Structure 1
Amino acid sequence: MLLLHEQAKTLITISAGHLMKRYAIISFALLFSSLCWADNSYDYPIDNPLAATVIGTPKAYTAELPNNIPRSDMKVVVFPDREMKKIISRKELHYTLVRQKHAAPLVFSIAGTGASHRSAKMQLLEKAFYKAGMHVVSLPSPTYSNFIITASASQVPGHIVQDSADLYQLMELIKEQISDNVDVTEFYITGYSLGGAQAAFVAKLDEERKIFNFKKVLMINPPVSLFNSVSILDRMLEENIPGGANNFNAFFEDLMKDFTKVYAELENLDFNDDFLYRIYEYEKEDINYSRVAATIGTSFRISSSNMIFTSDVLTNGGYILPKNYELQKTTSTTDYFKVASRISFTDYFNERFYPFFSKLTPGTTPESLKHDTSLKSISDYLRSTEKIAVVHNEDDIILAPGEIDFFRDTFQSRAHIYPKGGHCGNMAYKDNVDYMINYFTN
């Protein structure tokens, strides 16, 4: 993987879709005070959507799932003739296979923005679907470095139509690779956050190509508009860091200091689902939701910066790295990280993404590109097909005002919307897991 900053090595694969706890912990470590508890029939315990997004589901409320399942780390070469950069030593894309010993349906699962096939939420889905008797193939996000390097045709990620076509090609290769060892009765597909939206585009593509003939598709907390959602995440950073995004590096350093302080003072530190509850007991202060929002925005900024930098290096785009400059394995990337961290997704869209795709498709405008990368571009298909359902939260932080109604209007009875949970915060909650399993098995 291409790294942007020496201090960020363990944080680079954070996803805006799943917002891995490890990074969010850094800010929450010195913030937490109290949590609001629900008082209705849906007993997920965290009312605040920002807190829910970061904390996830406390252990006492999670579904009962097997601790150990037969995971196999697999790899496949998508572009055998692709010339690789000197600093990149492998051509293989990595994915996870969870195999039943008997004939069963197979679920393809797509990770959220910037996330790998091994992310915590991917492992949650693996356990749930394996428990329900299904094979599972977990795929990294097309915005994850390993995917950009090995499986992206353009190596300029973010165009959901193109990224979904890349996913489809990858899935075809995996289907062929595992066919002798995995007895598949039928195919399903799911994904969370951006992966949820991509699942719908992959399903639509399969209507034409008919390689998988997916029987069921489940979208988990997808964005309506990729542009709207990433703009929201950008604003969380820019509007909540003192001094704005130009002070990102200082803010990041402060977070690292907070992390170090808690790491040193708490005994038996374990990054599990209840770690933030320990932080809550450790520090009795009022929650600073502005800083929580800034941390979520920072998590996304690190993920998007890694994506942008990786793409720039691979395509010789000259956006961050000077054109024709060859990175060496010993090259420090600190200065490039400082540049990348100041680039919002809006900047990337206007300065790199739109110019690239408008050259490929003459007549493309910024507004048409935003539309083409949203679920609204396939709303007729989503409305008419019976095979696709959506799970979402009323208070999802990546949705613009009114966007939750798109799912109600488009999916009707196929939309299952919970009153709270933030962005994917309630995925591990027992009711949610039960619904996901029942959707595929009934």
Structure 2
Amino acid sequence: MKRIVLSVLVISFMLTTACWASSGTYDYPMNNGLAATILGTPKEYKAPVPKEIKMEQKMLTVFHDRVPPEVYWYQKGLQYFIVKQKGPAPLIFMIAGTGASHNSAKNRAMARAFYQAGFHVVSIPSPTHPNFIVTASSTMVPGKLEDDSRDIYRVMQMIMQEGGKNLQVTDYYLTGYSLGATQSAYVSKLDEEMQAFNFKKVLMINPSVSLFNSVEIIDDMLVDNIPGGIENFPAFWDDMFKTFSDAFAASDAVVFGPEFLYKAYKKKRVEGAPPNNERMSAMIGFAFRISSASMLFTSDVMSNSGVIKPKNLELSRNESLSDYAKVTVGMRFIDYFDEILYPYYKAKQPDLSRQEMLDALGLKNIDSYLRNATKISMVTNNDDFILASGEIDYLRQVFQDRGKFYPKGGHCGNMDYKDNVAYMIDYFTN
């Protein structure tokens, strides 16, 4: 499992490294969207933010009667962090991207920028992260955005009742990147009904229009670009792992970020294997596959679906999971949808069609709300590869002057770029 742990750490940067921009000349240095996604923003182009701020690490018990399986003995509660101003201030919730923890590099970077701008900050993990699935998911089968967002909303309310009860909050704001951006729209819609926060503004950063379309695109980036074809996946896996392991061993510190990944890329160039588009696509697909495997296995264990782990088999804390890892890494998201997600909801709603379930995995399901919710704005990049054909045009039509479209940056690759951070802060403070 050490390989899985290392890979997942690498993943948390490869699939969730950033997003945003400005008007006029846009000088973000990465012209290749794939490279931008992997490497993020070079240090000299990043926004100046505090290097260190106090991020209070917290743990929340959401379901007091839920006892995690022994294999998840270490999941004691939902993990989140709070950054506090000294006096009254607006508070912003941040929802992490696909498979990312509350402590992801992207959320930490945003927290520094928001703190500098005078906000209290609360960072929560993605509902697709194992910690959320085990401790805070009502279904334990993430994917249906409405249900996942209800879980997020419950967590937000409980955080304010417990960890944030002494905060002096003037207004509430909401943001998220990647899948977290898509979910922030659903959370905002729910808040219109529940009115626990009455969010003043919401910013969606590089949202997915259709979760299903986006993950299929990323899955295909792996399948279509493995040297020698999918049957060569074992050799490709070993090569990818060796690349990251060697860079890890050569690193001065255990820091997984753009600089670290650049070392891995530099090593490949020295070896005569430059990171061309095919290889970069495969690396992004590989990263997502590992992250997805973690979600699939956790959901299967928690829901006792019997797809990966035999039904009713109880795994001990010391049990080898290597065989399960091999199975999950070989699964695509469509396998999760067809074998776990859709059957779960079909059992609850026998007349639920497959297409209806697919529709529940995207923004078009709340199209009318998005077109009329003036409090919600959106930023994305013209070269964001997770958007299927026609989806960027859809975002333009829906958000119109509430949408910001940067010419480059890949998928969340330009989050730390100074112009992007300036735009984001200006949006929330004016």
Unaligned runs of 5+ in 1: 22-39
| 1:249 Cα deviation after fit | 3.2
Alpha-carbon displacement from aligned partner over 1:94-130 (angstroms, at most 9, x marks no partner):
1010000010110000000110000000001100100
Q: What amino acid sits opposite 2:386 in the alignment?
A: I
| 1:60 Cα deviation after fit | 0.7
| 1:83 Cα deviation after fit | 2.9
Equivalent of 1:349, from 337, 355, 363?
A: 337
Q: 1:276 to 1:144 in 2, by over 3 A?
A: closer
Provide the residue aligned with 1:361 in structure 2: 349
Superposition map of 1:275-290 within 5 A: 275-277=260-262, 283=269, 285=272, 286-290=274-278
Q: What amino acid sits opposite 1:119 in the alignment?
A: S
Equivalent of 2:102, from 104, 117, 120?
A: 117
Equivalent of 2:364, from 376, 383, 392?
A: 376
Q: 1:365 to 1:15 in 2, by over 3 A?
A: farther
Provide the residue aligned with 1:75 in structure 2: 59
Q: Which has the higher contact order (CA 8 A, sep 6+)?
A: 2
Provide the residue aligned with 1:140 in structure 2: 125
| 1:260 Cα deviation after fit | 3.6
Task: Give yes or no for the alignment of 1:249 onto 2:237.
Answer: no
Provide the residue aligned with 2:389 in structure 1: 401
Superposition map of 1:282-431 within 5 A: 283=269, 285=272, 286-431=274-419
Root-mean-square deviation over aligned CA pairs: 2.0
Superposition map of 1:18-33 within 5 A: 19=15
SS at match of 2:152: helix
| 1:245 Cα deviation after fit | 3.9
SS at match of 1:431: helix
Q: What amino acid sits opposite 1:364 in the alignment?
A: L
Equivalent of 1:10, from 6, 31, 43?
A: 6
Task: Give yes or no for the alignment of 1:158 onto 2:162.
Answer: no
Task: Give yes or no for the alignment of 1:54 onto 2:8.
Answer: no
| 1:389 Cα deviation after fit | 0.2
Q: What amino acid sits opposite 2:109 in the alignment?
A: L
| 1:377 Cα deviation after fit | 0.8
Query: What is the total number of aligned residue pairs between the two structures?
Result: 420
With normalisation by structure 1, the TM-score equals 0.90
Q: 1:301 to 1:106 in 2, by over 3 A?
A: same
Q: 1:382 to 1:339 in 2, by over 3 A?
A: same
Equivalent of 1:171, from 153, 156, 163?
A: 156
Q: Which moved more, 1:236-245 or 1:352-361?
A: 236-245
In the alignment, the residues of structure 2 paired with residue 9 and residue 302 of structure 1 have an alpha-carbon distance, to the nearest angstrom, of 10
Q: 1:264 to 1:387 in 2, by over 3 A?
A: closer
Provide the residue aligned with 1:99 in structure 2: 84
In the alignment, the residues of structure 2 paired with residue 151 and residue 289 of structure 1 have an alpha-carbon distance, to the nearest angstrom, of 38
Identity %: 50
Q: 8 Å contact 1:15–1:112 — kept in the other structure?
A: no
| 1:280 Cα deviation after fit | 6.2
Superposition map of 1:208-247 within 5 A: 208-247=193-232
| 1:276 Cα deviation after fit | 4.9
Q: What amino acid sits opposite 2:354 in the alignment?
A: P
| 1:353 Cα deviation after fit | 1.2
Q: 1:424 to 1:94 in 2, by over 3 A?
A: same
| 1:277 Cα deviation after fit | 4.9
Q: 8 Å contact 1:106–1:135 — kept in the other structure?
A: yes
Unaligned runs of 5+ in 2: 18-23
| 1:303 Cα deviation after fit | 0.8
Q: 8 Å contact 2:177–2:207 — kept in the other structure?
A: yes
Q: 1:266 to 1:110 in 2, by over 3 A?
A: closer
| 1:388 Cα deviation after fit | 0.2
